[in-house]
Amino acid sequence: MKDQKELMNLPHKTIERLSQYRRALLICVDEGRTHIYSHEIAKIQHITPVQVRRDLMLIGYSGTLRKGYNISELINLIGTIIDSEKVTNVALVGVGNLGRALIKYFNGKRHKLYIAAGIDINPEKIGKDYYGIPCYGPEDMERIIKEKDIRIAILTVPVQNAVESAQRLVDAGIKGIVNYTNKPLNVPSGVYLEEYDMVTTLEKVAFYVKLGEMEKGKD
Amino acid sequence: MKDQKELMNLPHKTIERLSQYRRALLICVDEGRTHIYSHEIAKIQHITPVQVRRDLMLIGYSGTLRKGYNISELINLIGTIIDSEKVTNVALVGVGNLGRALIKYFNGKRHKLYIAAGIDINPEKIGKDYYGIPCYGPEDMERIIKEKDIRIAILTVPVQNAVESAQRLVDAGIKGIVNYTNKPLNVPSGVYLEEYDMVTTLEKVAFYVKLGEMEKGKD
DNA sequence: AAACTTTTGTTATAAAAATAACATTGTTAA
DNA sequence: TTAACAATGTTATTTTTATAACAAAAGTTT
Ligand SMILES: NC(=O)c1ccc[n+]([C@@H]2O[C@H](COP(=O)([O-])OP(=O)(O)OC[C@H]3O[C@@H](n4cnc5c(N)ncnc54)[C@H](O)[C@@H]3O)[C@@H](O)[C@H]2O)c1
Ligand SMILES: NC(=O)c1ccc[n+]([C@@H]2O[C@H](COP(=O)([O-])OP(=O)(O)OC[C@H]3O[C@@H](n4cnc5c(N)ncnc54)[C@H](O)[C@@H]3O)[C@@H](O)[C@H]2O)c1
């Protein structure tokens, strides 16, 4: 395995792409393939083959000339880089429509990340299982985080509860948050935060579609 | 309004941030504020004040010294840049858990983007409304896209239907796709594609959490 | 077996993005 | 009224990211 220094120096974009490469490679394994060329990975990811080779160079993986990369080896190597050694447990806070969609989508996809608990305020949900994941009440949050050694939380509560929930998660010792609520959060340094908003994605698409049409109209 | 040349030259990241600024500004308006400083926007977005001012410079907006930026003016200007003049209609293909969460989240948030139709194969869903949006069968897809002048599609079908659905959307003249399925797609040039996978987001967070812990363990 | 092809791996260059430096200008206050 | 301040706006620089160029190797073709 690469040592810490090297991991730290990997570009952020490379980390993202490694995750995406693995996703694509896992699909290839399912299709029964054993090797893949850089230009094939590139096509799947909508990037250039050089970009792929450069990323793989950075993580020190070598393919075979004219044969490409060994898919399962590469999957394993990506695992040693981006995964922790032990399973990292995740809590999903707010077991609503989005939360359930995420649990269903995520669990089982990766070996080293596991949504180990749902947290919801709705009494009808507490005590139930959702796609095999037990749902607890907010009063148990701190305890469950400790007991299950949960490091990361996904936040899918209604927006008006976002700030309070995030604060409690941070206080309970969470080290990473993925925030899907409409409210940008502030967390202390030492807590890694990612936010995603589909409105931005859609607006970006709409902008470039508009630009494309203006371009065409010009002719 | 900025002319096309200028729009085209805006950095992609600036486009994303403009969307995010607007989201934050709309919250500020709700809170009754009229002006905001670059450092306040920056704090919300987890970026630097210089970045904010630079973006606003690029779109030609000027604030008032020691008073900051006029929030509603800025919201309007961002609108003239990233929105189209007319409402852009969007179709949501796959009215499942994720699809419904997205409809509920999205509609009403923006004036110039509207999810105008759901498409689903499930006979129980066809003909029903979801959060006010009518759901049609796949056999009506092409007709509805034409009738409602739908330009953009959000893809939330099961992964095994992703490729076929995307092909039909492209054939029907869709100009932009947001793909949430686990299958990376290929679209012809002229169709703008964005893909999002929460697994990548979560893995990225997990990686930096791991790095943070290795860092600490070092001391 | 020599020339060609295809693919990897690396270094060099270019492009994009972020940051820093600094000039400017109202406002406050000594 | 002038010095200090707090904010914007712009240009310069640095950093990050992506692309291009090219060398090397293994196979293929002639
Ligand atoms: N970022 C995006 O792209 C995106 C997309 C869709 C929805 N959203 C947002 O995600 C959130 C969830 O959306 P949804 O459609 O699932 O809503 P939902 O109402 O179906 O689910 C919210 C859940 O949170 C629970 N809850 C409320 N307060 C809580 C608390 N204090 N602690 C724990 N659980 C609590 C509710 O009981 C409910 O089950 C909303 O904030 C929504 O705006 C974001
Ligand atoms: N990218 C992400 O982060 C993310 C997160 C969650 C889910 N997903 C993916 O999003 C998709 C939807 O997830 P979900 O939980 O809502 O699943 P779901 O099964 O609840 O919904 C899928 C819907 O698509 C409909 N459908 C099936 N075939 C169709 C077709 N040919 N045309 C139109 N509709 C069709 C089904 O009837 C169903 O209503 C899945 O592919 C899932 O893997 C992605």
Chain segment B127-164, per-residue pLDDT in tens: 999 999 999 999 999 999 999 999 999 999 999 999 99
Whether residue A72 is found in the same domain as residue A95: no
Residues B192 and B112 in one domain: yes
* pLDDT tens, position by position, A56-96: 999 999 999 999 999 999 999 999 999 999 999 999 999 99
**Is the same domain home to B24 and B101?**
no
Domain count, chain B: 2
Of all helices (H) and strands (E), which one includes residue B80?
helix B71-82
**What percentage of chain A exceeds 90 in pLDDT?**
93
- Cβ-contact A124, A135 below 8 angstroms: no
If asked whether residues A105 and A173 sit together in one domain, one would say: yes
Give the DSSP per-residue string, A7-52: HHHS-HHHHHHHHHHHHHHHHHHHTT--EE-HHHHHHHHTS-HHHH
Q: Decide if B15 is inside a domain.
A: yes
CB-CB contact of B70 with B34 (8 Å): yes
Inside any domain, residue B108: yes
Same domain? A119 vs A184: yes
Say whether both B61 and B93 belong to one domain.
no
The answer to whether the Cβ–Cβ distance between A101 and B106 falls below 8 Å is no
Pocket of ligand 2 (CB under 6 A): A 101-102, 104-105; B 93-99, 119-122, 138, 156-159, 161, 165, 180-182, 196-198
The pLDDT score that the predictor gives to residue A2 is: 53
Whole-angstrom Cα distance, residue A27 to residue A33?
9
B34 and B55 in a single domain? The answer is yes
Tell if A151 CB is < 7 Å from nucleic strand C: no
Give the tens place of pLDDT for each residue, B14-31.
Answer: 999 999 999 999 999 999
pLDDT top residue among A160 and A2 = A160
Average pLDDT taken over every residue of chain B: 96
A137 lines ligand 1 (CB under 6 A): no
Distance from the Cα of B54 to chain A's closest Cα (Å) equals 19
Residues A65 and A138 in one domain: no
Terminal-residue alpha carbon distance, chain B: 55
Asked if residue A122 and residue A75 are part of one domain, the reply reads: no
Query: Parallel, antiparallel, or unpaired for β A88-93 and A69-70?
Result: unpaired
CATH number for the domain harbouring residue B55 = 1.10.10.10
Residue among A133, A160, A158, A155 nearest A144 (CA): A133
Q: Which of A82, A100, A130 is the last residue of a domain?
A: A82
CATH number of the domain that residue A172 is part of: 3.40.50.720
pLDDT at A117: 98
Residue type, A78: I
Q: Of the candidates B114, B125, A122, which has an alpha carbon nearest to the alpha carbon of residue A130?
A: A122
Q: Categorize the per-residue pLDDT at B191 as very low, low, confident or very high, splitting at 50, 70 and 90.
A: very high
Structure tokens at A99: 């939360």
Residue at a domain's end among B28, B58, B82? B82
Q: Which two tokens stand for residue B81?
A: 């840049």
Chain A residues touching B154 at Cβ < 8 A: 198, 202
H-run or E-run covering B134: strand B133-136
Range of the domain at A25: 4-82
| B101/B62 same-domain check | no
| Ligand 1 within 6 A of CB of A95 | yes
A102 contacts B206? CB cut-off 8 A: no
Same domain, A54 and A104: no
Answer yes or no: do B123 and B137 share one domain.
yes
- Point out the least confidently predicted range of A2-11, A26-35, B25-34: A2-11
From A47, A82, A117, the end of a domain falls on A82
